[in-house]
Amino acid sequence: MNLGVFGYASIDSSYQMDSFAGLGKTTIIRKLHQDSEAGGIARIFYGLREGNRCSAISWVGEDDLSKSWISALNEMKVDTSGVEELQGSAPSCFLFHSRNGETITFYDTGFGLTKELTLSEIAESVLSKVDVTIFAVGPRLATEKALEVVSQNSLVIWIVKADPSAYPPELLEKMHKRSDVVIHSANENNFVSPNEFRKNAIVISTNGSHPISWKYGEKTGSISPRRLDEVSNTTGAGDVFSGYFVGEWLSSSNLEKSINLGAEATFEYLTNRAIKRGL
């Protein structure tokens, strides 16, 4: 099977704060973690089964972090021909986690661009041939183009990110109508409209250590993941869950088994702050 993963490649840095003091005031932060070189959409590939042809559609800079990110994908035998190299440094995401669970996010594209990113001709060619397209968050214009390029027979899996700049209303509507599988967190409930999804779409809503709810056509259910003690840094959890869920689901078509595997992989990742291919 030919799988394509679309979205930003980013180096994530996480910080903890008691609370955000507000504009014009000083907020005390403590650095928790800088992502390994295989951050961003790279985490998704760890859960995808070996034997599939996997391709990345993304953008990187010319710096050492970008080169390390590409090397990590190459080690997993991921096709990186659809990853465009641009002048500048690696994209970076800075996340500030408060003790009450709220997160403030700043994203640096790393390229110093004055115009939005879109797809290269090579990336379009790669996407046009995939059987399964996994959409993580990416540049608006590139997302619009990717939706046009992917085959109507391609299965579309959407990993939701509540980012209005990436998904203006018209594009958000297209994502709802085109997605066969939707994975989002409970924090994004107000960003998605369940009634707008395809009739037989699989919709999964994660909620930290609380039960994971799912809907598949007229069927609904929930699965309780292993409960974690207090976790201050959840960076990457959604990508890890999604990758392992998709890997198992494409292999077995067993929805609950796939959700359980995604939850177990996420537990291991958040407990050990490490990820490997397979559990």
The encoded tokens of residue 121 equal 């001709």
Token reading at 155: 């299965």
SS3 210: strand
Work out the angle at residue 10's Cα, subtended by the Cα atoms of residues 32 and 141, and round it to the nearest 5 degrees.
140
The pTM score is 0.88
Give the SS3 label for residue 2. strand
C-beta separation of 161 from 135 below 8 A: no
Is pLDDT above 90 for 120? yes
Q: Is 278 exposed, middle or buried (0-12, 13-18, 19+ CB in 10 A)?
A: exposed
Separation of alpha carbons 45 and 57, rounded Å: 12
pLDDT at 4: 97
> Distance between CA 40 and CA 166 in Å, rounded?
16
Is 80 exceeded by the pLDDT of residue 58? Answer: yes
260 vs 49 pLDDT, higher one: 260
- Which residue bears the tokens 């409930």? 189
Q: At what angle do helices 140-149 and 169-178 cross, to 10 degrees?
A: 30
* Amino acid identity for residue 69 in this structure: W
Q: Residues 126-141: pLDDT tens digits? A: 999 999 999 999 999 9
Kindly tell me if the per-residue pLDDT of 234 is higher than 70: yes
